[in-house]
């Protein structure tokens, strides 16, 4: 792995989209303003000039950075090898995936999970069947503090917890 992995890079790797036409473009389109804000904050921590981040709306942002785009491609191609243990980096990557494609209804789902993403999740102790997370409580505890979308979930049993 050429890239120095940080939680910000791993989060953006899970969250963002990459363009096939423009190899250095990294962008997001989300339904939550807070996710777009975290994307911008993470990009700035990675060294992207704030003036070069293009905010198209409260839920869309993009920037051009060939090194970061290349690092994201490398992380995604090697995710099963890189994220085989539960740590800050794997939790950030899974949180990015969930913030990008996660749905919280009667169950927790992640849209369009690839077979390699399912394998990576299984290696981390998260049981996934197609797009549904089967051990939701463990999943929530794993990415709580890393995911914007999961932050406001209240689990049964911790109603009095002031956090």
- Average pLDDT, integer, range 58-66: 95
8 Å CB contact between 123 and 83: yes
Give the pLDDT of residue 105.
86
Greatest Cα pair distance, the chain, in angstroms, is 50
Report pLDDT for 7. 96
What pLDDT, on the 0 to 100 scale, is given for residue 161? 53
How many other C-beta atoms can be found within 10 angstroms of the C-beta atom of residue 92?
27
Give the strand pairing for 25-29 and 132-133. Answer: unpaired
Q: Two tokens at 6?
A: 């940080």
User: pLDDT at residue 24 above 90?
Assistant: yes
Weakest mean pLDDT among 50-54, 77-81, 82-86, 105-109 = 105-109
The C-alpha atoms of residue 109 and residue 103 are separated, in whole angstroms, by 5
Task: Answer yes or no: pTM beyond 0.75.
Answer: yes
pLDDT band for position 101 (50/70/90)?
very high
Q: Hey, which residues does 26 pair with through a beta bridge?
A: 18, 63
What 8-state DSSP symbol labels residue 124? T
Q: Does 2 score more than 90 pLDDT?
A: no
The pLDDT value given to residue 142: 95
| pLDDT (average), residues 78-99 | 96
Give the Cα separation of 127 and 101 in Å (integer): 17
Nearest of 47, 28, 48 to residue 39 by alpha carbon = 28
pLDDT at 65: 96
* Average pLDDT over all residues of the chain: 91
3-state DSSP call for residue 111? coil
pLDDT at 154: 62
| DSSP label of 28 | E
**What pLDDT score was predicted for residue 151?**
84
d(CA 120, CA 63) in angstroms, rounded, equals: 28
């Amino acid at each position: 792995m050429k890239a120095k992995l940080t939680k910000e890079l791993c989060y953006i790797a899970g969250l963002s989209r990459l363009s096939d036409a423009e190899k250095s473009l990294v962008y997001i389109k989300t339904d939550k303003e807070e996710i777009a804000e975290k994307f911008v904050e993470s990009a700035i921590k990675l060294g992207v000039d704030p003036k070069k981040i293009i905010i198209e709306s409260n839920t869309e942002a993009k920037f051009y950075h060939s090194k970061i785009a290349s690092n994201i491609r490398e992380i995604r191609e090697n995710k099963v090898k890189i994220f085989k243990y539960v740590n800050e980096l794997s939790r950030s990557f899974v949180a990015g995936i969930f913030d990008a494609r996660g749905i919280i209804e009667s169950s927790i789902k992640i849209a369009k999970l690839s077979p390699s993403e399912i394998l990576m999740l299984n290696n981390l102790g998260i049981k996934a069947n197609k797009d549904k997370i089967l051990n939701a409580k463990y999943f929530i505890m794993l990415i709580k503090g890393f995911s914007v979308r999961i932050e406001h979930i209240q689990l049964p049993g911790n109603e009095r917890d002031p956090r």
